[in-house]
Amino acid sequence: MNNPPLISLFPVSRRAAGRRLLGAWLLLSLSCGAGETGAPESPVPPPALGPSFARQEFFLHPGDTISLIQTAGDSPVPPDGWDLVSSRPEWFQVNPQGEVRLTEAALEGIRSGTLVSGEAAEVRARMGGVLAEGEGESCLVILRKDPRRTLDGEGRLRDPGDYDALVNKSRRLPSSYIPPDLVLVETPTCLEMEEVRKMRREASAALTELFRAAAGEGFTLVARSGYRAYRTQEALYNNYVFTQGQEYADRYSARPGTSEHQTGLVMDITSPEMNYQLEESFGETPAGMWVAANAHRFGFIIRYPRGKEGITGYAYEPWHLRYVKPALAGRLHSLGLTLEEFFNLP
């Protein structure tokens, strides 16, 4: 990921704004600058501008500490009279030296599943109780787990129950993993097999809200396939290999242990106009387009979007909804990123 250019809190084009913040100081300096003869002395130069953030965006892994400020020689960090303020101090703690770390409350939230990657805080400089304002005068600190530190030595997820767990062809779930909070979904379904009508409790509740909102707009959605145990996925994948060949199976199905369905956070959805089948054309229907535009509001993403096959490793699946909670879903939707791109994986 390329870093954006260095941005000062008060760029040259905004020095007028910086001087307004310090207007009282300047007036005092000028009024006290006259000598005994009454002739004004040369204007006292304004104090140093505020601290310069090293980047516009920073990513913070739980337990790490990152520095926001670019140092310049022996200059104080930040310059004298300035301090830094976090918009979410209950989660993101910034010290006078411009270092940010997660609070104990945030770390506990991560452990309990209430806080996931994608949560963020804005950090601004402040002088005399006045916050710097304007574009380029703040930075964003985004919680993002380092995916390389979430695997064990054999490529398996250490915490498969995380809502932001990244599962793909090279990042496997333990074969023994079964989500502890699976429930039957409360939405319309079209398959009789009980197992696939399950999701994790929070994801199921979010799916209910998504379907209810769609119905309010005149769209009928139907849940088709949710949770699949390791053995179920193994049988499904082997059947694809037997009937369609290895290449087809690897493009349209997941090897056991690499399927997101095993997380309990996925539901494949369809509609009556699709005859309850899973087809790419669902994405072109009014219902499918509404889902693509609104799923993030309920914490879901289209996990395998069009044009990202080379990144995700799977063909376009407009029906495959993955629950990641609203904070991360909203960020991915607004930036047009896949989970792989957000976590900066090749």
Gyration radius of the chain over CA positions? 26
pLDDT tens per residue, range 251-310: 888 899 999 999 999 999 999 999 999 999 999 999 999 999 999 999 999 999 999 999
Question: Are residue 246 and residue 286 in the same domain, yes or no?
Answer: yes
Helix spans in 146-222 (H): 201-216
Q: What is the DSSP letter of 263?
A: G
pLDDT tens per residue, range 158-185: 999 999 999 999 999 999 999 999 999 9
Question: Are residue 138 and residue 154 in the same domain, yes or no?
Answer: no
Confidence of residue 7 (pLDDT cuts 50, 70, 90): very low
Task: Decide if 102 is inside a domain.
Answer: yes
Task: Decide if 270 is inside a domain.
Answer: yes
Distance between CA atoms of residues 304 and 341, nearest Å? 12
Last residue of a domain, one of 143, 166, 186: 143
Question: Are residue 123 and residue 158 in the same domain, yes or no?
Answer: no
Task: Decide if 194 is inside a domain.
Answer: yes
Helix (H, G, I), strand (E, B) or coil at 235: helix
Q: The CATH number of the domain where 36 resides is what?
A: 2.60.40.1080
Residues 6+ apart with CB under 8 A from 345: 147, 166
C-alpha 75, offset from chain centre: 34
Instruction: Give the number of domains in the chain.
Output: 2
User: What is the b/e burial string over 204-235, where b = at least 16 CB atoms within 10 angstroms of the residue's CB?
Assistant: bbbbbebbebbeeeebebbbbbbbbbbebbbe
Question: Are residue 131 and residue 151 in the same domain, yes or no?
Answer: no
Task: Decide if 34 is inside a domain.
Answer: yes
Out of 47-51, 129-133, 163-167, which region has the weakest mean confidence (pLDDT)? 47-51
CA-based end-to-end distance of the chain:
11
By CB atoms closer than 10 A (0-12, 13-18, 19+), residue 334 is exposed
Q: What mean pLDDT do residues 66-93 have?
A: 78
pLDDT at 6 over 50: no
Question: Are residue 89 and residue 191 in the same domain, yes or no?
Answer: no
Residue 71 has a pLDDT of: 58
Out of 24-33, 44-53, 182-191, which region has the weakest mean confidence (pLDDT)? 24-33
pTM as predicted: 0.82
Out of 24-33, 77-86, 148-157, which region has the weakest mean confidence (pLDDT)? 24-33
Question: Are residue 209 and residue 280 in the same domain, yes or no?
Answer: yes
Helix spans in the chain (H): 15-21, 23-31, 104-112, 201-216, 230-244, 246-252, 286-294, 309-312, 326-335, 339-342
Question: Are residue 155 and residue 131 in the same domain, yes or no?
Answer: no
Q: Kindly report whether the peptide bond that precedes residue 160 is cis, defined as omega within 30 degrees of 0.
A: no
Task: Decide if 37 is inside a domain.
Answer: yes
By CB atoms closer than 10 A (0-12, 13-18, 19+), residue 181 is middle
Q: What mean pLDDT do residues 222-233 have?
A: 96
Closest residue by Cα to residue 92 from 66, 125, 113, 112: 66
Question: Are residue 156 and residue 287 in the same domain, yes or no?
Answer: yes
pLDDT at 78 over 50: yes
Question: Are residue 127 and residue 269 in the same domain, yes or no?
Answer: no
Task: Decide if 2 is inside a domain.
Answer: no
Question: Are residue 69 and residue 166 in the same domain, yes or no?
Answer: no
Last residue of a domain, one of 86, 121, 143: 143
Q: The CATH number of the domain where 313 resides is what?
A: 3.30.1380.10
| Token pair in block for residue 292 | 């693509």
Task: Decide if 180 is inside a domain.
Answer: yes
Q: Which domain holds residue 125?
A: 7-143
Compute how many other C-beta atoms are within 10 angstroms of the C-beta atom of residue 48: 15
Q: At what angle do helices 201-216 and 286-294 cross, to 10 degrees?
A: 130
By CB atoms closer than 10 A (0-12, 13-18, 19+), residue 81 is middle
Last residue of a domain, one of 124, 143, 162: 143
* Calculated CA dihedral for residues 270, 271, 277, 280, nearest 10 degrees: -70
Helix (H, G, I), strand (E, B) or coil at 151: strand
Question: Are residue 113 and residue 247 in the same domain, yes or no?
Answer: no
Distance between CA atoms of residues 190 and 276, nearest Å? 7
Out of 11-25, 36-50, 134-148, which region has the weakest mean confidence (pLDDT)? 11-25
